[in-house]
Amino acid sequence: MITFEQAMTEDRFHQGACSVSYGKTGKANPTVTMMGWRRNGRTKTWKTRPDQFSIPVKYGLHSYGRIDHTNAWAFHLANECKALAEVERWWAAYEAGAHTGRL
């Protein structure tokens, strides 16, 4: 869920649940499946409705949308993504020589 303060400062968001998949043996490079949206303009706020916001976002080359107070529950911040954190831990273990499987 995105809060009002996060809506004002963050630039990258993920929609839905991000997932990590591994190769057939469980030892291959991990792949992250996600819908990554990026800010495409200024956050719109209202003086008469201070708890509401609207962020213009873009996905890929041709998909546009908005994150607002009604659909913020479906998004999370890219820097707080659990799937990306899992992949970073996997790569750290790989570089340390302990790449025998999933973490």
Query: What was the pLDDT predicted at 26?
Result: 62
Tokens (6 digits) for 94: 């790989």
Query: What was the pLDDT predicted at 102?
Result: 53
Query: What was the pLDDT predicted at 100?
Result: 55
Query: What was the pLDDT predicted at 14?
Result: 92
Residue pLDDT, tens place only, 14-47: 998 888 888 776 667 788 888 999 999 999 999 9
Question: For residue 7, what is the DSSP state?
Answer: H
Tokens (6 digits) for 71: 């659909």
Domains held by the chain: number = 1
Query: What was the pLDDT predicted at 7?
Result: 87
Residue pLDDT, tens place only, 45-77: 999 998 899 999 999 899 999 999 999 999 999
Q: Within a domain: residue 36?
A: yes
Q: Within a domain: residue 103?
A: no
Q: Return the higher-pLDDT residue of 100 and 17.
A: 17
Q: Within a domain: residue 10?
A: yes
Q: Within a domain: residue 101?
A: no
Q: Within a domain: residue 102?
A: no
Question: Domain range for residue 29?
Answer: 4-96
Check the CA dihedral 82-88-94-96 and report its sign: negative
Q: Within a domain: residue 37?
A: yes
Q: Within a domain: residue 11?
A: yes
Phi then psi dihedrals of residue 78, to 5 deg: -65, -35
